[in-house]
Amino acid sequence: MSAPEPVRLLVIGGGPAGYTASLYAARFGLDPVCIEGYDAGGQISRSFLVENYPGIPDGTSGADLAARVREQASGFGARLVTDDVTAVDLGQRPFLVSTYDTTFAADSLVIATGSSPRPLGLPGEQELVGRGIAYCAICDGAFFAGSRVVVVGGGNAALGEALAMQRVAAEVTVIHRRTTFRADASVEAAARASGITMVTPAVVEELVQSEAGLAGVRLRDVSGGGTSYLATDGLFVAIGHVPASEPFAPWLALDRHGCILTAAGSTGTSLPGVFAAGDVADARYRQAVTAAASGCMAAIDAERWLVTGDWTGPQVEPDLAVAAR
């Protein structure tokens, strides 16, 4: 087995946060390596149209936006590795990070692994992804033009999905487990004004399949316990996201959402030399522009730590960092 490859700064994750951290680190002369993963580009790359990224008034696709930031990072000298992380060991210095092909020994680390949509966890769900089940109306809504669709969730994301689908679908029904919504009042009002049907309090307890894919859902009334069947061509799940923080949980403090804990105004984690950026450390905003901004912050924080040892991380109890072991 070959010796680990020494790296001054290793960035884990491709996407607005990881690529921006790599761009800035390269300009600082840190010779960063970015393990972008085989699913390079992050969640933004699956967005059909991005209209709210500053400096791009006419909008662009998420894939194009990610590719342009990636190209910029590479142009400044960041080394991009298309591989997935298989193991990490932050219990020693330098930190060891292994991929399928290589093991890196990093003096400092920026974690920008993002998050993934939270599934319903029902039997048959994964098999129906792409055959009736989706997690992004912007990405997949066009496939359901003129169809009946269901959106599960009660926050801004869910009602935003419903409003997006209302423009193309024949019928849109929102299923929410509570009688009140977590969405902003203006978003809820817009959804109701658009003729979207709200079914509350109810949960999807069964996915009904046909040979073609999803045929309908069986609902359970949370208050009364009764069940009903709702035929549908599509089901959009919008019940939150799961931060991709699990590989780092043995060494880093996490917040109640599972995000890597950082100090206010800093990307420093509970372990000196390790920084976190983007959705893996952000349960609130989860926007491409905020991810990119935090990637910039992480590179600045990492450069400062490498040069001066200056580190600002969250003030946590020593055993909190290993609470998830």
- Give the tens place of pLDDT for each residue, 35-61: 999 877 877 776 666 778 899 998 888
Q: Tally Cβ neighbours within 10 Å of residue 128.
A: 17
- pLDDT average, residue stretch 175-201: 92
CB 35 within 8 A of CB 98: no
pLDDT band (50, 70, 90) for residue 325: very low
- Identify the active-site residue in 140, 233, 279, 282: 140
Let me know: does 207 contact 124? Beta carbons within 8 Å. Answer: yes
Domains and CATH numbers, the chain: 5-117+241-322 (3.50.50.60), 125-237 (3.50.50.60)
User: pTM above 0.85?
Assistant: no
DSSP count for the chain of H helices, then E strands:
7, 17
- Among the listed residues 64, 139, 255, 296, the single catalytic one is 139
Q: Between 288 and 34, where is the model more confident?
A: 34
Instruction: Check if 139 is active-site.
Output: yes
Does residue 132 surpass a pLDDT of 70? yes
HSE of 40 in the Cβ direction (CA atoms, 13 Å)? 19
Mean pLDDT of 13-38: 96
Q: Is 136 a catalytic residue?
A: yes
Note the pLDDT of residue 42.
Answer: 78
Three-class SS state of 173: strand
Task: Given the residues 136, 259, 279, 282, select the one marked as catalytic.
Answer: 136
**Residue 182: phi, psi to the nearest 5?**
-85, -10
Half-sphere exposure of 113 (CA within 13 A, CB side): 19
Residue 171 tokens, joined: 């019928």
Tokens of 116: 């993934």
What pLDDT, on a 0 to 100 scale, did the predictor assign at position 176? 97
pLDDT in tens, 81-113: 999 999 999 999 999 999 999 999 999 999 999
Mean pLDDT of the chain: 91
Region 116-124 average pLDDT: 92
